[in-house]
Chain A
């Protein structure tokens, strides 16, 4: 098992790719690293300034490093803190006159190295849920793009370390009964549908929510139970080296969302990480997957499903254990632990489910545990079980997802 723990460096990557039209009206880039003094740079003018030229302009940066990040052939400007202090590692993008923020795609806010966040808050209206999620994600290392403490809210994850370079946005919007949650890529070219039968739904009257998040993923749920319209998870995965930039088959975009409701009014807790490790049939909660320019959704309780729906890695003995689980734990009856590799189809649930990456700060145990069971001091971290007493079925694996708290 190789748990992928998030790094603690602040990392700000522009959302607009080169080339840039830089003139006297937008040639100022000012950043403050780790709470120090503002460092202001005047960028080279030109109608087609490249990201590498901007990076050259920033060569005098101290406390951080500027670089070009290439994603599917497009170049962006990256500023990465050299300190790895989590929330204390900060990149504040200032907004002087004639700043280049919009041109380069930087948000005038503070990007941080993030933290493993576990927080619980009370809710009664949609805004309570949205604000609670926003605050938790900000603490975890996400930035608010728009709608601070107002619906709709758009948040952006940190970008995973080079050469993984994955990031995403999440939208929190007002659905009829619930706070709706959808995911999209940063450019907005692939966005989950905002409708009463798509994406995640969180019912405010559930009264209390917990968020476990890091700067690349989040799980929002009603603590202590698998409550309908009471769970949404989303994130970008960790990518193994053989799928990173420079390899023959690259994942340059991978975003997932998994919820436990089929609609804004659904009262059945559908299949999700809150109930199991994978699904291929009916009664699956809504999902959204974005992979290298492809997007598809599980929406409104489709029948049939497919083996591309969504699953984590499981490890068992050769014969499917069904409801009589065997071959899943060690001689001393301790559980076998596995990397939480995520599988989903490329364009539809009928596609073959392939491993797209691995959950951050997580592992899969082959054992069943009471929902929200806490474990301490494994690999130097504390953990919480997301999955509700999952002993498996004849078609899905026994086990639990544990997340760093």
Chain B
């Protein structure tokens, strides 16, 4: 098992690719690193400046490093801090006159939610009394984890952006958090360019139900998030999303990858479905109900579906699913997925995540690994803490998943500190 832990370094990658038209009206680059003084650099003017040329202009930056970030053959500008202090590692883009923020695609504004940080993995707890409380609570939790707010701070339509995973993985995503539904807050995924955008509405993506006095806990890091209601497996009480860790041989091969898993199909849904909250999959027919909503993004292919399945499932081997250790022999009379050691301790495995490329009917392939996570082959109640494993504390996301004839036993754990 090789758990992939997030780093604690602030990392800002521009959202716009080269070439850049730099003129005297947009040639002022200003950043403050770790709360230090503003470092102002005048970029070289030119109608088609490359990311490499911008990086050269930024060679005198201190306490951070500028580099070219290549994503899918397209070059962006990356500023990465040299300190590794989580929320105290910061990259703030200042907004002097004639600044280059917009032309390069850096978020600025001077507020904490607009500052790139090294992030935190501490859970965030808040009350979701209203849809706006819930939407703003999610935004705040993501900001605490190292996401930035791109637009709509504390509004009815908020867009947050993850940090970019380390070179040469270079994955990132945005989520759109809206309150337009009658009952629920909707969270959908999209790529940073906005060229692939998951549906956001009453029948799509993650749907979360607020209520007076209802507490939410978000377990997030700068690349992923799990939204939970403590102890609850109720529909519209769970959602998760993120960009995965990519193993070395797929780095550069996978240049766009994001996933989102809800546990409902509509704004009014109350049916219990097969989700990451009660199983290791966010998939199809659970014996009585169709799949919850899912959205995945793989190298320009957006899969956006929900309410799928039916008895037998059909050609449905591409649903979003985690990979779990199990013995190679199983059957209806056995504990599915059972894989315990001689001392009855659980076999643990990497939290690999798979999905079909274009929709749930494609073959599910492993797209990467969840950050700060592992899979245990045993069943535990959600919220169960585990201390001091790999020098971290953990909590069970999955609830009492003993498996069925069609799903495997096991539990997803994520870090809390």
Which A residues have a C-beta under 8 Å from some C-beta of B? 240, 242-243, 247-249, 251, 276-281, 291, 307, 309-321, 324, 326-327, 329-334, 336, 338, 341, 343, 352-357, 395-397, 399
Contact B328 A276 (CB under 8 A): yes
| B365 closest partner in A (C-beta) | A331
Contact B329 A356 (CB under 8 A): no
List 30 A–B pairs whose Cβ atoms lie within 8 Å, in order of A's numbering.
A248-B343, A249-B342, A251-B342, A279-B329, A280-B329, A280-B330, A307-B330, A307-B331, A314-B326, A315-B323, A316-B323, A317-B280, A318-B279, A319-B281, A319-B283, A319-B313, A319-B407, A324-B317, A327-B354, A327-B364, A327-B366, A331-B366, A331-B367, A331-B368, A338-B325, A343-B327, A352-B335, A352-B338, A395-B331, A397-B326
Q: Nearest chain A CB to B6's CB is how many angstroms away? A: 21
| B401 closest partner in A (C-beta) | A318
Contact A278 B365 (CB under 8 A): no
| B350 closest partner in A (C-beta) | A315
> Interface stretch among B60-68, B234-242, B249-257?
B249-257
- Chain B residues with CB under 8 Å of A318's CB are 279-281, 283, 321-322, 324, 407-408
Interface centre among A278, A316, A318, A324 (most CB of B within 10 A): A318
- Chain A residues with CB under 8 Å of B344's CB are 249, 354
Interface string of B287-330 (1 = CB under 8 A from A): 00000000000100000000000000101011101111111111
Given A311-B327, A321-B317, A355-B347, the answer on whether A330 and B340 have CB atoms closer than 8 Å is no
Whether B81 is near chain A, meaning CB under 8 Å from some CB there, is no
Contact B343 A313 (CB under 8 A): no
From A313, A320, A396, give the contact of B347 (CB < 8 A): A313
Whether B24 is near chain A, meaning CB under 8 Å from some CB there, is no
Q: Nearest chain A CB to B123's CB is how many angstroms away? A: 25
- Chain A residues with CB under 8 Å of B366's CB are 327, 329-331, 336
- Chain B residues with CB under 8 Å of A247's CB are 343
Given A326-B363, A329-B366, the answer on whether A315 and B326 have CB atoms closer than 8 Å is yes
Given A327-B364, A341-B347, the answer on whether A354 and B334 have CB atoms closer than 8 Å is no
Q: Nearest chain A CB to B257's CB is how many angstroms away? A: 8
Listed from nearest, the 5 A-B pairs whose CB atoms lie closest are A278-B329, A278-B328, A249-B343, A326-B317, A277-B328
From A242, A249, A327, A334, give the contact of B323 (CB < 8 A): A327
| B343 closest partner in A (C-beta) | A249
In angstroms, Cα B1 to Cα A315, docked, is: 12
- Chain A residues with CB under 8 Å of B345's CB are 242
- Chain B residues with CB under 8 Å of A314's CB are 325-328
Q: Nearest chain B CB to A337's CB is how many angstroms away? A: 11
Q: Nearest chain A CB to B244's CB is how many angstroms away? A: 10
Contact B250 A316 (CB under 8 A): no
From B323, B324, B327, B363, give the contact of A312 (CB < 8 A): B327
Given A242-B345, A330-B365, A352-B340, the answer on whether A317 and B321 have CB atoms closer than 8 Å is yes
Given A327-B364, A329-B366, A331-B253, the answer on whether A320 and B330 have CB atoms closer than 8 Å is yes
In angstroms, Cα B247 to Cα A354, docked, is: 30
Whether B220 is near chain A, meaning CB under 8 Å from some CB there, is no
Q: Nearest chain B CB to A312's CB is how many angstroms away? A: 5
Whether B349 is near chain A, meaning CB under 8 Å from some CB there, is yes
Contact A355 B339 (CB under 8 A): yes
Interface size on B, residues (CB 8 A): 52
Contact A329 B317 (CB under 8 A): no
In angstroms, Cα B314 to Cα A326, docked, is: 13
Q: Nearest chain B CB to A131's CB is how many angstroms away? A: 34
- Chain B residues with CB under 8 Å of A321's CB are 317
In angstroms, Cα B327 to Cα A279, docked, is: 10
Interface centre among B325, B342, B343, B366 (most CB of A within 10 A): B342
In angstroms, Cα B365 to Cα A291, docked, is: 38
- Chain B residues with CB under 8 Å of A334's CB are 249
- Chain A residues with CB under 8 Å of B298's CB are 331
Contact A354 B342 (CB under 8 A): yes
- Chain A residues with CB under 8 Å of B281's CB are 317-319
From B318, B326, B363, give the contact of A316 (CB < 8 A): B326
Contact B364 A317 (CB under 8 A): yes
Contact B363 A356 (CB under 8 A): no
- Chain B residues with CB under 8 Å of A397's CB are 326-330
Whether B352 is near chain A, meaning CB under 8 Å from some CB there, is yes
12 extra interface residue pairs, beta carbon distance < 8 Å, beyond A279-B329, A281-B331, A397-B326: A313-B325, A316-B326, A319-B408, A324-B317, A331-B298, A332-B250, A336-B352, A353-B327, A354-B342, A357-B342, A397-B328, A399-B328
- Chain A residues with CB under 8 Å of B109's CB are none
Q: Nearest chain A CB to B378's CB is how many angstroms away? A: 12
Whether B146 is near chain A, meaning CB under 8 Å from some CB there, is no
In angstroms, Cα B323 to Cα A327, docked, is: 7
Contact B364 A307 (CB under 8 A): no
- Chain B residues with CB under 8 Å of A279's CB are 329
Given A341-B347, A343-B339, the answer on whether A319 and B406 have CB atoms closer than 8 Å is yes
- Chain B residues with CB under 8 Å of A276's CB are 328
- Chain B residues with CB under 8 Å of A331's CB are 250, 253-254, 298, 365-368
Contact B349 A315 (CB under 8 A): yes
In angstroms, Cα B343 to Cα A247, docked, is: 10
- Chain B residues with CB under 8 Å of A251's CB are 342
Q: Nearest chain A CB to B54's CB is how many angstroms away? A: 31
| A326 closest partner in B (C-beta) | B317
Whether B210 is near chain A, meaning CB under 8 Å from some CB there, is no
- Chain A residues with CB under 8 Å of B321's CB are 317-319, 327
| B375 closest partner in A (C-beta) | A315
In angstroms, Cα B125 to Cα A35, docked, is: 69
From B319, B324, B331, B365, give the contact of A315 (CB < 8 A): B324
Contact A396 B283 (CB under 8 A): no
Within 8 A of A (CB), among B221-251: 247, 249-250
- Chain A residues with CB under 8 Å of B342's CB are 243, 249, 251, 291, 354-357
